[in-house]
Amino acid sequence: MNTEEKLMKCLGCVKEKTGFEPKVALILGSGLGGFGKKIDARAIVEYKDIEGFPISTVLGHEGRFIFGYVEGVPIVAMQGRVHYYEGYAMSDVVLPTRLMGLLGAKALLLTNAAGGANFSFRPGDFMLIRDHIASFVPSPLVGRNIDSLGTRFPDMSHIYDEELCSAIRKTAAENAIHLQEGVYLQLTGPQFETPAEVRMCRALGADALGMSTACEAIAAHHMGMRVCGISCISNLACGMSSTPLTHAEVQETADRVSTQFTKLVAKSIAAIGQILD
């Protein structure tokens, strides 16, 4: 089965389970799945019940779509995403993103836990993603182009929608939430970077490092969704602090700031919903 056939099969399977039409798609990052409680859920679809769907194996990542309302806006949230380092092809990693677009979501709000490479960042900061560097991971668009989704050679000069970025900025300011801004760089993982790699990434212009997000942004932008993203800086990248990095630290920080994160994401969804009206 090719990528398009697989996507359409998964789409059909989800549509059989719910007719809910989301306006905004949300991907919840490592340790940020607690946002699920904020959703006035109308339907839940477990990834394992979608035939052919890639399933996340990472601790701290549940595996389901939650359909429902946040601040009155119809959304679909992914509680648990799939990562390239789990061994899936990049086309499978972005299948859920494309599926949410085909279900009707006009905008995608990406979240993740990321390592800070910028010396002015602190663990627990939030960073609005202004642009990304995806050159270290395979493109999700490799392979036969799915013409029904988008063009073979899509422009990437404005992946992160300026109007949505402004709405998130404004939302953070109104709620007295400090918001950093910067460039997200995606690496394959699963190992954290070496200090030399972190220096390289910083020299290339990266402010935050992670193992997701940019591929999903590319796939969503390719099919015409409006994209925005927020990183939770869960730790300083390797070599920037004296303690070794662990996945537990990533989760601990996400837990510590989850109340603020929930507020920022919920209010941002409300603002994005208004823009899409």
Which of the residues are catalytic?
30, 61, 83, 85-86, 113, 211-212, 235, 247
114 in contact with ligand HPA (CB under 6 A): yes
67 in contact with ligand HPA (CB under 6 A): no
CB of 38 to ligand HPA, least distance (A): 22
Separation between Cα atoms, residue 95 and residue 88, nearest integer Å: 11
> 3-class SS at 177?
coil
CB of 198 to ligand HPA, least distance (A): 8
Between 170 and 209, how does the x/- string for binding to ligand HPA read (CB under 6 A)?
A: ----------------------xx---------------x
- Backbone phi, psi, residue 252, to 5°: -60, -45
253 in contact with ligand HPA (CB under 6 A): no
Residue 96: cis peptide before it, omega within 30 degrees of 0: no
Q: Which stretch binds ligand HPA (CB under 6 A): 44-52, 92-100, 109-117, 163-171?
A: 109-117
Q: What is the 3-state secondary structure (H, E, C) of 160-174?
A: ECHHHHHHHHHHHHH
Pairing of strands 208-210, 107-116: antiparallel
- List 128, 250, 265, 271, residue binding ligand HPA (CB under 6 A): 250
Pairing of strands 208-210, 226-236: unpaired
CB contact at 8 A, 109 and 272: yes
CB of 240 to ligand HPA, least distance (A): 9
- List 74, 210, 229, 273, residue binding ligand HPA (CB under 6 A): 210
**Cβ closer to ligand HPA: 90 or 232?**
232
The two three-digit tokens of residue 182, written as one number? 């910067």
- List 7, 66, 95, 113, residue binding ligand HPA (CB under 6 A): 113
234 in contact with ligand HPA (CB under 6 A): yes
Q: Where are the alpha helices (DSSP H) in the chain?
A: 3-17, 90-93, 95-102, 162-174, 195-203, 214-222, 247-256, 258-276
Separation between Cα atoms, residue 72 and residue 197, nearest integer Å: 43
Q: Give the binding site for ligand HPA (CB under 6 A).
A: 113-115, 192-193, 209-211, 234-235, 237, 245, 250
